[in-house]
Amino acid sequence: MDLNAVRTFVAVADAGQFQKAAIDLSLTQQAVSKRVAALEREVGVRLLNRTPRGAELTIDGQAFLAHARSLLQAEERARASVRPGSRALRVDVIGRRASLAGLLRDFHRARPEIALDVVTLPGAEEAIAALRDGTIDATFRAVTMPGQKIPDGIEISPVHDEPLHLFTGPAHPFAGAAAVAPAQLAGHRIWMPGNVPGTEWTAYYEAMAAEFGLTIEATGPNFGVEALIDTIAASSTLATFLGAQTPLVWPAGYEMRLIPLRDPTPVYPHSLLWHADNPHPALTALREHLTPVHHDLPAGETWAPAWARRGA
């Protein structure tokens, strides 16, 4: 159905005159008459009676008017859904409990007027494809994985080098340590059931294991953070790695330990990726918010895989 014809019909019904509707629509009276006549042919009934006093709705016109208004309202909602600044900014994060989700929460607190839609895609390849296709506006990822090519038009900006901590229960041999060197963990069981082959975080931890002689187990189903905490709390041998800013809450009495890694400190390098042609104004606001964010890195040497280092 021609929405311009529907809009013209509504204007005539509201004005009660073809001539006044023509003025309101910046059209000629002849153009208004032709549009209404075309609409009447399309619906197969007369909608308006032409009278010396103007235009009056027929019974069919009265029945059609409410639906005509709904059509125009639906058109406006459809336009608003993609109008720059009206649509929510869609941002991908590795996980809703990851530190980057915390950065987004900080952005939302600073700019509550900006609508956010937070999604979690499986890995970097899916996220970059979504950027290219326009199904998301931005993604937080560690790039680049070995052999991964960033398509033309995708922009990258480093935003956060996150130090890693060792996470243990109270009976673990390192539970009382003030800090642990990665090389000291050789021979100890590091359990990370969330490591999925082909993802950038798995590539990161595989590189870390190779660098420091670690054994990282990804065996068993991943039942989520709560199940991970339960298992590690009850174990004297299992530990895992967590980002320093990962928000965690564990039950009272668990006495979990979050122990800094030192000499060197492994850092997980997060970057913001977006498409250069993306016009969403909130994307600019997000990038400006992240630019001055400072993250306290420990003194001393840090480590990241060669493929993930800045400028690599």
pLDDT in tens, 247-276: 778 888 899 999 999 999 999 888 899 999
Q: Is 73 exposed, middle or buried (0-12, 13-18, 19+ CB in 10 A)?
A: exposed
Task: Decide if 3-82 and 89-308 have a common fold.
Answer: no
Q: What is the pLDDT of residues 269-310, one digit of tens each?
A: 888 999 998 888 899 999 998 876 655 566 789 998 887 755
Annotate 257-280 with b (16+ C-beta within 10 A) or e (fewer).
bebebbebbbbbbbbbbbbeebeb
DSSP 21: H
Highest mean pLDDT among 144-148, 178-182, 195-199, 219-223: 178-182
Task: Please report, to the nearest 10 degrees, the dihedral formed by the alpha carbons of residues 100, 106, 112, 117 taken in order.
Answer: 10
Q: What is the pLDDT of residues 39-79, one digit of tens each?
A: 999 999 999 998 888 899 999 999 999 999 999 989 887 88
Q: What does the pLDDT average to over 183-196?
A: 92
CB of 302 within 8 A of CB of 267? yes
Q: Does domain 89-308 have CATH number 3.30.2320.80?
A: no
CB of 264 within 8 A of CB of 302? yes
Measured CA to CA, the distance from residue 46 to residue 61 in angstroms comes to 7
Boundaries of every domain in the chain: 3-82, 89-308
Q: Does domain 3-82 have CATH number 3.20.20.80?
A: no
Distances (CA, A) of 93 to 103, 270, 272, 296: 10, 10, 10, 21
- 3-state SS, residue 266: strand
- 3-state SS, residue 254: coil
Q: What is the pLDDT of residues 7-18, one digit of tens each?
A: 999 999 999 999
CB of 102 within 8 A of CB of 245? yes
Measured CA to CA, the distance from residue 274 to residue 134 in angstroms comes to 10
User: For tokens 């539970």, what's the residue?
Assistant: 175
